[in-house]
Chain A
Amino acid sequence: MALAGLDKKPSILPGATAVVLATAFLIVLLRVENQKAVITLLAFGMVAVVATNWLGYFTPVARSFSAREDALGPFTVVAALVVAAVFHEDHFVLLMLCTVVLYTVATLGLNIQFGYAGVLNFAGASFFGIGAYTAAVLNQHTAVPHLLVLLTGGAMAAMIGSLLLLPVLRTRGHYAAVVTIAFALLLKTFLEVNDILGGPQGLQVRGMNIFGWSFNNNIEFAGIQLSFYVSYFLLSLMILIVAFLLVRRVERSWIGLNLDALRLDETAASCFGLNIVRWKVTAFLLGNFLIGTAGALFGMVGGFVQPNNYTFADSLILVSILLLGGIGNPWGVVLATVLVVIVPEKLQVIQEYRFMLYAALVMIVLLFRPEGLLPRPVRRYFSEWRS
C-alpha cells in the first residue's frame, strides 16, 4: 500500500479549513433563535457532512489533523476564543460554551477509562457531581484557595471511585458496569435523603475567586462590556487544553499501549507481564480525577449543585458522547460534545426527548458504524516522526 507523497508532510490546509467552516457554522447556529431556521440550518449541516464524506474529503482532513496536530490544536483553541469573542456579552451562550468545555474534559476522563483501558463507568455524571459538591462544601465552609478546590474535587472523585472499584477490578467487565450503575442510582437517593448535603434542593456553590478577583462580576475591558462567564470560559478552556494534552501524552506512550493491550486481550497481556489491576486502577483514577476537577468548576460556574442534575441518565449522556464521537479519539469527543450539548439547547422541541434520542442514535451507531464519527487512528507516537 503506497502512500503518495509519504516524505512530504501532509498539508495543514484541509484541517484548518475544516476548523474554520465548523466555527462559522457554530457561530451562526448559536446566533439563530427562530426554531424553523435552526432546523433548516441543522439539516443543511447534516447534508453538508454526508456530502463531504461521500466526496471523500474527510480523509485529507483526518490526515491533516493526525500529522499536523501540533499546529491545528492551537488553531482550534483560537477558533474557540473567536466564538467566545463573538458572544462576549451573551450570558446564555457563554454558559453553554462553558458546559461544552467542561463536559468535554469529563468525557476525556471517561475516554481514558473506557476508550483506552476498557473499564466501564456508568456513573460519570455522579463523579462529576461529586466534584461539584466538593466545591460547594469547601467554598462554603473553608478558606481553601479555589484553584486547589478544583484539584480536591478531582481527588475526591478519584478516591470514592477507587473504593468502589477496587474489589471489582479483578473480575469481568460487566461487573464494573453493574457496580457503577448501582452507585449512580444509590448516590442520587443518598443525596436526596441527606439534608446535610442539601437534600433534593442541593447546595449553593460560591463562585470562583482567584487572588481576590471574583469571577462572578461582569468585566469591563478597554471599554467593552464582558459577561462574567468569560472568565469561567477562559479558565475552563485552559483546563481542557491541559486535559487534552494529558490524554494525548498518555495515548502516545507505553502507558497508552498497556491500556490498549489490556482492553483488547487481557489474557495475552498478562502473559507478557502486564499487571492488569495496576493499570486498570491507574486509568480509572486518572479518568475520575479529570471528571471530578471538571465537575468542581462546573459547580462554580452554575452557582449551585443538586442531585437531579447528576443522575444515571446524565451518565449515559456522557457515554453516548464517547460512543458517538469515536471511542478513543479525543477530537471525536470534542466534536460530539459540541453536538450533544448545543443541539438540544437550540432545538427546543427535542430537549424533552434528548435522553431517548441520544440513546437511539448510539444504537444506530453501534449497529452501523461502531467506531463512531471520528474513528480512532492507529497509534503514532510522535506526530512528526516518519519511519
Chain B
Amino acid sequence: MTTKPLRHDAVLSAKGLTRRFGGVVAVDQLDLHVAHGEILGLIGPNGSGKTTFFNVITGLYAANAGTVSFDGSDITYASPQEIYHAGISRTFQRSRLSLPLSIFDNIMIGNHKRLTQRLWFNLMNRRAFKAEFEASYAEAQSLVAVFNPPLAQRMMEPVTGLSMIDRRRIEICRALISRPKLLLLDEPSAGMTHEETAHLMKDILDVRTRIEGLTIVIVEHEMGVIERITDRCVVLNFGRKISAGTFAEIARDRQVQEAYLGLQ
C-alpha cells in the first residue's frame, strides 16, 4: 500500500483485472468501478467469476494482470491482512464461521483491528482489558440486535447450535463490526426464503445508515433483491463484464438475457 488516500468518486476501481486457473480464465480483463456510498449488484450465471473477483480483491488470489485501487491506493498485490486494515470486509459464499466458538467470539474475529493486541495488555492489564471487552460486547450485541433481537441475548452460545440463517447474519455482523469502508457480500441470502431475504435486506439497509459512507458490493441471484436495493449493477459472464448500469437498463440488455436464458 503506497500513496495516501485521495477523495475519488470511485472508492474501488479495477482495471483490466485478470485471473487464470490453468487453462480457465476466471476473471477476464475486468474493468469495474464502485462509487463511494453506493450499493452495487454483481450478478451473472454460476461460474461467471463473481466469487473469484472477490477473492482477487481481498488478496486471496493474486491477479495475473490488471490493477485494483481502493480509496486512491493500489491494492493489487496487497495481502488479505493489509486489505482488511485498509477497510475492506467480506462474507463468504460458503459460510465460514468458527463453529466451536461463541457468537461473540466469531464477531470479535472481525473486529481484529479495533482490539488491542499487545501481549502485556492482554495478559497483565486485566482492568483495561475488561473495559475493552465490555465495550466490544455492548457493540456486538447491539449489532446482532439489528438482525435478530432474541439472538443478542445468546451472545456466549457456540455457533454450532444456530440455524443457517442466523449463521449468515452473524457472518454479516462479523464483517460489519470493524466499521469497514467497503463491504463485500457474497450471496448472503443463499438458502433463504423470500421473506427471510427481504428481512435481511432491510436489516442491511438499516445498518448502512449507522456506518457513514459504507459502500456495498453484493453478489446475488435473486433479481427482486437486486432490483430493490442496488443503485447500479454489473453483469459478468465467463469472467467478462457484459453489461453495467441500473437494474432496469441491464434487464433490457439483450446480451444479459442471452447469458441467463440462453436465448439466441
Please list the residues of chain A having a beta carbon within 8 angstroms of any beta carbon in chain B.
Answer: 1, 246, 249-250, 253-255, 257-258, 260-261, 264-265, 267-275, 282, 376, 378-382, 387
How far apart sit A246 and B80, CA to CA, in the bound complex (Å)? 31
Question: When each residue 100-119 of chain B gets 1 if its CB lies under 8 Å from chain A and 0 otherwise, what string results?
Answer: 11100100111011011101
A379 partner, pick from B60, B92, B105, B110, beta carbons under 8 A: B105
How many Å from the CB of B125 to the closest CB on chain A? Answer: 10
How many Å from the CB of A192 to the closest CB on chain B? Answer: 38
* A272 neighbours in B (Cβ, 8 Å): 84, 89, 109-110, 112, 174, 178
A254 partner, pick from B100, B102, B122, beta carbons under 8 A: B122
Q: Tell me if B81 is interfacial: C-beta within 8 Å of chain A.
A: yes
Stretch from B69-77, B154-162, B194-202, B251-259 forming part of the interface with A: B154-162
Nearest-CB residue, chain B, relative to A249: B123
Q: Tell me if B260 is interfacial: C-beta within 8 Å of chain A.
A: no
Name B116-153 residues within 8 Å CB distance of A: 116-117, 119, 122-123, 129-130, 133, 137, 153
Do B156 and A378 touch (CB < 8 A)? yes
Do B79 and A270 touch (CB < 8 A)? yes
Supply 27 A–B pairs (Cβ within 8 Å), ascending by A: A1-B154, A250-B122, A250-B123, A255-B117, A255-B119, A257-B101, A257-B105, A257-B108, A257-B109, A258-B112, A258-B117, A260-B100, A260-B105, A261-B101, A264-B98, A265-B96, A271-B80, A271-B84, A272-B89, A273-B81, A273-B85, A378-B102, A378-B156, A378-B158, A379-B102, A380-B156, A387-B155
Do A253 and B123 touch (CB < 8 A)? yes
Do A246 and B100 touch (CB < 8 A)? no
* B80 neighbours in A (Cβ, 8 Å): 270-271
B98 partner, pick from A255, A261, A271, beta carbons under 8 A: A261
Do B122 and A255 touch (CB < 8 A)? yes
Q: Tell me if B90 is interfacial: C-beta within 8 Å of chain A.
A: yes
How far apart sit A246 and B120, CA to CA, in the bound complex (Å)? 12
Do B112 and A260 touch (CB < 8 A)? no
* A273 neighbours in B (Cβ, 8 Å): 81, 84-85, 112-113
* A249 neighbours in B (Cβ, 8 Å): 122-123
* A257 neighbours in B (Cβ, 8 Å): 101, 105, 108-109
Do B108 and A246 touch (CB < 8 A)? no
B92 partner, pick from A268, A381, A382, beta carbons under 8 A: A268
Given contacts A253-B123, A254-B116, A381-B133, contact A275 B101 (CB under 8 A): no
Nearest-CB residue, chain A, relative to B152: A387
Add 5 more A-B contacts to A1-B154, A264-B99, A274-B109 (CB < 8 A).
A254-B108, A260-B105, A271-B58, A273-B112, A379-B102
Nearest-CB residue, chain B, relative to A386: B156
Do A246 and B123 touch (CB < 8 A)? yes
Nearest-CB residue, chain B, relative to A250: B123
Do B117 and A265 touch (CB < 8 A)? no
How far apart sit A287 and B230, CA to CA, in the bound complex (Å)? 50
Interface centre among A250, A254, A269, A275, by most B CB within 10 Å?
A254
Interface centre among A1, A246, A380, A387, by most B CB within 10 Å?
A387
How far apart sit A275 and B153, CA to CA, in the bound complex (Å)? 31
Interface centre among B84, B96, B112, B153, by most A CB within 10 Å?
B112
Do B105 and A267 touch (CB < 8 A)? no
Nearest-CB residue, chain A, relative to B82: A273
* B117 neighbours in A (Cβ, 8 Å): 254-255, 258
Nearest-CB residue, chain B, relative to A261: B109
B101 partner, pick from A250, A260, A387, beta carbons under 8 A: A260
How far apart sit A265 and B96, CA to CA, in the bound complex (Å)? 8
* A275 neighbours in B (Cβ, 8 Å): 81
How far apart sit A387 and B90, CA to CA, in the bound complex (Å)? 28
How far apart sit A143 and B17, CA to CA, in the bound complex (Å)? 65
How many Å from the CB of B154 to the closest CB on chain A? Answer: 8
* B155 neighbours in A (Cβ, 8 Å): 387
A264 partner, pick from B83, B89, B100, B153, beta carbons under 8 A: B100
Do A271 and B90 touch (CB < 8 A)? yes
* A387 neighbours in B (Cβ, 8 Å): 137, 153, 155-156
How many Å from the CB of A267 to the closest CB on chain B? Answer: 7
Name B171-196 residues within 8 Å CB distance of A: 174, 178
* A264 neighbours in B (Cβ, 8 Å): 98-101
Do B157 and A1 touch (CB < 8 A)? yes
* A271 neighbours in B (Cβ, 8 Å): 58, 60, 80, 83-84, 90
How far apart sit A274 and B156, CA to CA, in the bound complex (Å)? 22
Do A269 and B158 touch (CB < 8 A)? no
How far apart sit A348 and B30, CA to CA, in the bound complex (Å)? 72
Interface centre among B98, B155, B161, B174, by most A CB within 10 Å?
B98
Do A274 and B112 touch (CB < 8 A)? yes
Do A265 and B98 touch (CB < 8 A)? yes
Interface centre among B81, B90, B115, by most A CB within 10 Å?
B81
How far apart sit A255 and B118, CA to CA, in the bound complex (Å)? 8
* A376 neighbours in B (Cβ, 8 Å): 100
How many Å from the CB of A279 to the closest CB on chain B? Answer: 9
How far apart sit A255 and B112, CA to CA, in the bound complex (Å)? 10
